[in-house]
Amino acid sequence: MSHILRKHRTAALFGAAIIAGAACLPFAINTSNAIAAPADAGGILAASGSFASIVDADKPAVVTITTTVKATDVSAGQQDSPMDEQFRQFFEDQGIPLPRQAPKNRPSQQAMALGSGFIISPDGVVVTNNHVIDNAVDIKVTLDDGTELPAKLIGTDPKSDVAVVKIEAGKPLQTIAWGDSDRLKLGDQILAIGNPFGIGTTVTAGIVSARGRDLHSGPYDDFIQIDAPINHGNSGGPLVDRSGNVVGINTAIYSPNGGSVGVGFAIPSDEAKAIVAKLQKDGSIDHGYLGVQIQPVTKDVADAVGLDKTGGALVAAVTADTPAAHAGVKPGDIITSVGGETVKTPKDLSRLVADLSPGAKKSLGIWRDGKTLDLNVTVGTNEDGQKQAAAESPDSQGQPSGQPSLGIGLAELTPDLRQQLDLPRAVSGAVVASVNPDKAAAAAGIQSGDVIVSVNDRPVHNTRDAKAAIAEAGKAGRKSVLLLIERDGNKTFVAVPFAAA
């Protein structure tokens, strides 16, 4: 199953024999390769309302991709599956011991997996999802006429879930052209073409249900949501508009049962085509990174720092020895622009940073201490996929504390408490000892055991510092107080409104 929508069930559309997850985080890169000839579909529906002209033009350019992947070994040292552990825990909670089975050794196996793709150049360049060919030891492409050809991997980008392969057909192949996904509107008609379950090329119709869907698979999610039925095996197939041009790559579905329920997701073409062009040229993509942990600027946060409106990305933490640290970015800063491009949300910052080439020099617009300033940063390389600017998930955001008027009680960070909370020696602050469930701090999510390390960007070393800084914010007429909280080794900002205290 997919990484995305972990609390629900969202599946990648790949595999008749294997179903695996997809990591889908599209973004744009300014490059211009991968130009395909436009489909001759007439641009409009026939008077009868038929899509036949579009299908006739596009279907020959849609392919089936079959891969041979090495199956995971099952050995004596391997742990139980998560499902096995859940069953075991359930029975043990009821006081019923569940005997462990004897370990089984199985020889390593190979399995077949299935997906779709589409041809964008007459010489055989094929676009698909990365998860369709991930871990493949052999890739084969079957054309619409049944011809099966070996494929060579040209490049992949796991972060955007896009891949490019190449086939040699010995003749020019029919292609399908990129369309303009930015022009799609809710309610526009679309077609999904692919090979669900391996039954053969299939066409389904629907509309654009939503734009900019974030499936929490990463910081670059910007999916097109569609209601055209797509299923396992559709992964990598084209989503086409009424002109017969590709406006998306079918990638995932939301499903309570593994099948289509009319909620599918596609990577927008305006992001995918730039990635494809880069992959054709270089075979891989280097993503830029800053080295910051960020979160949204809510109204309470804006009030606390003196902004007249929400917008930007609040820096919760800066990783040492990163481009952001070298540029002078500090926790509590609000990044409002990158290279002159406005940052409205943390997701904007993530995409803008990912678009930049490592080594690029850009100016960061910063709001700090009630005024704006510009910092020059040299963008780094995201080698391990974990360091780029990433919006913090709502359920991971810690919460503030303050004085009793906010609904909390504070305690000094004694050696015993430091040991209980497993805090490094470098951490100092005031410990939240109690939280009134009817007050603002509780509503903001503050928990007992949280450590307040700063108040309105002013470092806090003890309870006296915390109370004084909160009182000062109240006297200054601030509507909220901005607290930096340490919880479980992570730092995050939380704004608590005075009015609700």
Active-site annotation, residues: 131, 161, 235
Cα of 332 vs its chain's centroid, Å: 24
Pairing of strands 371-378, 458-459: unpaired
Residue 10: enclosing H or E segment and its boundaries?
Answer: strand 10-12
Block residue for tokens 């084969």 = 140
Q: In this structure, which amino acid lies at residue 88?
A: R
| Total Cβ atoms within 10 A of residue 369 | 13
* Strand ranges in 350-474 using DSSP code E only, listed in sequence order: 361-368, 371-378, 380-381, 390-391, 408-412, 430-435, 451-455, 458-459
Closest CA to 25 of 160, 157, 156: 160
CB burial of 169-192 (b: ≥16 within 10 Å; e: otherwise) equals: eeeebbbbbbbebeebeeeebbbb
Phi, psi of 305 (to 5 degrees): -100, 5
Question: How far is residue 59's CA from residue 201's CA, in Å, rounded to a whole number?
Answer: 8
